Structure 1
Amino acid sequence: MINTFYAVTAILGMAAVTILLRALPFLAAPLLKRLSMVAQLGRFLPPAIMTLLVLHSVHGNASNNPAGLWQEGGAIGLAILLQLRWRSALLSIMAGTLLYVVLRNSHGFNCA
Structure 2
Amino acid sequence: MRLDTIQSLVIILMVALATQITRWTPFLLFSGERKLPRVVEDLGKLLPPAMMGLLVVYSLRSTDLLGGSHGIPEAIAVAVTAGLHLWRRNTLLSILAGTACYMALVQLVF
Q: TM > 0.5 between the two?
A: yes
Q: Which residue of 1 aligns with 2:26?
A: 25
Q: Under a length normalisation based on structure 1, what TM-score does the superposition of the two structures give?
A: 0.67
Match of 1:101 in 2: 103
Q: Deviations over 1:16-50 (max 9, x none)?
A: 97364554334333498521221121111112101
Partners of 2:58 and 2:71 lie apart in 1 by: 13
Structure 1 stretches of at least 4 aligned residues deviating more than 4 Å after TM superposition? 19-23
TM-score by length of 2: 0.68
Number of the residue aligned with 2:81: 79
Q: Which has the higher helix share?
A: 1
Give distance in 2, aligned partners of 1:104 and 1:35: 46
- Give the Cα separation in 2 of the matches to 1:84 and 1:21: 32
Q: Percent identity?
A: 32
Which of 88, 91, 94 is residue 92 of structure 1 equivalent to? 94
Q: Give the unaligned 5+ runs of structure 1.
A: 1-6
Q: CA RMSD in A?
A: 3.0
